[in-house]
Structure 1
Amino acid sequence: MTQPSGQTPVVLITGAAKRIGAEIARCFHQAGYCVIIHCRRSQHDAEALAAQLNRHRAGSASVLVADLNDEHALAALGTRALSCYQRLDTLVNNASSFYPTPLASLTQTQWLDLMNSNARAALFLSQQLAPALIKSAGSIVNLTDINVNRGMADFSAYTMAKAALGAMTRSLARELAPSVRVNAVSPGAILWPEHTEEGATQDAEQASILAGIPLKRLGTPAEIAQTVLFLARDAAYVTGQTIRVDGGRSLA
């Protein structure tokens, strides 16, 4: 059972059971926040992460399970989040579906899934939680993608959805000012996608990506998490901005 946080800041992170989302949760928790970990399918991982954080600070982490493609579950998520600690200071829209959709085989179902998870859910969750964020003079941080500007063959639906999230960032920054700041972090190559095929073709593709990064390495989840925390906690005069954390890849 969660405990009231009093003046302790609270963050809700969507898609926070694994990978970058989990690292964002750890980063905010280390900074003294109470953390609400949202997940869809990865409840075991989310519960394990929350247990780890609660061992460090009792009652400081909670888990909420919801399918962001389900409008009823999405509508209930904001209410459930506020019931955890009776306040909210930061919303991190990190949840994202990601898979190829070649134009020849793209389906309406894929389009809706990618738009829902990457853009629609973030918009309507922001709508639900705006009153609480206004009350706390809080912030929203969205996770976009550098490929919105570069383009990505076979991923047109995904990049369009992330572009919509970027447009939402700028529009809500105007609409929710001056009470709530809205910004985005645009990761470059941080982790290789899960469930990729192994072999010479995959190795060559990854080597080509690394060759195009001026800093000549992958970024780390911690570097993304630290940037999200900076925008949420420290960037008091920054809104409507997207910070690229990509090792310089977008310069190419």
Structure 2
Amino acid sequence: MNKTILITGAAKRIGKEIALTFSQMGWNIIIHYNSSKKDAQDLADQINTHSPSSAKIIQANLDISSDVQRLVDESKLCFDSIDVLVNNASTFYPTPIDEISEEHWDKLIGSNLKGPLFLIQGLKDKLIESRGTIVNITDTNLSKGVANFSIYASAKGGLESITKVLARELAPEVNVNAIAPGAMLEPPDVTWTDEQKDKVIANIPLKKMGSEKDIANTVKFVVSSKYMTGQVIKVDGGRSLS
């Protein structure tokens, strides 16, 4: 029986690369998306061309509790098991202290912390049954105290704390770890100047930016490492050393 991975925010970038990586390993893929329906369907079609009926898509807004519950319910019906949950979906934008609103709080906490927590709660029994793995995607910049991102940092910091708490709470059946990406190559719709790139790379010991494949390969490593739990792995080219 093929194993199954559910990836939130899987239609683009890191989530998409994780989906393709695990599809190449023969896994079933549950592709969650919020608004990127075409990208999600295109990805599922690409996977199903090579491995028929192995990829399914589910829409859900992780800010909305009823959507999270529906994602849980529909995911359980897709395949026989759920072996890995990757909490990758994320909302990211600055919130200067003088401009913070309750709406900002609800949106950033919802997608980055509340949604993942209740998704784990809803899928806990399936993950225990499969002796599965949870991988939470956080951010290596949390330790830097980046100005104007207080809510986002609170949410991702909370997700790292949940990682450690649930590693104890769900042991020994479920492994829970986090991956903290550093600076990634810009998406196609964003153009960085050479000056901007040079400024970022100057603070990275490996002198290059990361890629989606770097994160997907780390997810693959974490899933295969059954004697590791409660860890936050920084994939940032050494930037967090400075």
Q: TM-score, normalised by structure 2?
A: 0.97
Q: Does 1:223 align with 2:214?
A: yes
Shift, 1:196, TM fit? 5.1
Aligned to 1:11: 5
- The aligned residue for residue 196 of structure 2 is 205
Regions of 4+ moved over 6 Å: none
Runs (5+) with no aligned partner, structure 2: none
The unaligned stretches of length 5 or more in structure 1 are 1-6
**Secondary structure of the corresponding residue to residue 192 of structure 1:** coil
Moved more, 102-111 or 169-178: 102-111
- The 2-side partners of 1:101 and 1:67 are apart by 21
Which residue of structure 2 aligns with residue 57 of structure 1?
51
Residue 74 of structure 1 aligns with an amino acid whose one-letter code is V
Deviation by residue 1:201-251 (Cα, 9 ceiling, x = unmatched): x5433321111001111111001001011111x101000001110000000
Q: Distance in 2 between matches of 1:204 and 1:103?
A: 28
Partner residue in 1 for 2:232: 242
Distance (whole Å) between structure 1 residues aligned to residue 209 and residue 49 of structure 2? 31
The answer as to whether partners of 2:163 and 2:230 remain within 8 angstroms in 1 is yes
Residue 109 of structure 2 corresponds to 115
Number of equivalent positions: 242
Q: TM-score, normalised by structure 1?
A: 0.93
Work out which of the residue numbers 15, 40, 43 in structure 1 matches 2:37: 43
In structure 2, which of residues 21, 26, 29 is the aligned counterpart of residue 27 of structure 1?
A: 21
Aligned-pair identity (%) = 47
Tell me the distance in 1 between the aligned counterparts of 2:212 and 2:103. Answer: 30
* RMSD (CA atoms): 1.3
* Alignment-derived partner of residue 241 in structure 2: 251
Q: Is 1:138 aligned to residue 132 of structure 2?
A: yes
Contact 2:13 2:187 in 1 (8 A): no
CA distance in 2, matches of 1:148, 1:195: 25
2:74 maps to which of 75, 80, 91: 80
Which residue type is aligned with residue 174 of structure 1?
R
Q: What whole-Å deviation, never above 9, does each CA across 1:128-162 have from its counterpart, x for those lacking one?
A: 00100000000100000011111111111111110
| Corresponding residue for residue 190 of structure 1 | 184
* Stretch moving more, 135-144 or 149-158: 149-158
Work out the CA distance in 1 between the residues paired with 2:188 and 2:63.
21
Distance 2:165 2:75 in 1: 24
> For the residues of structure 2 that align with 1:89 and 1:195, how far apart are their CA atoms?
33
CA distance in 2, matches of 1:115, 1:194: 27
2:99 is matched with 105
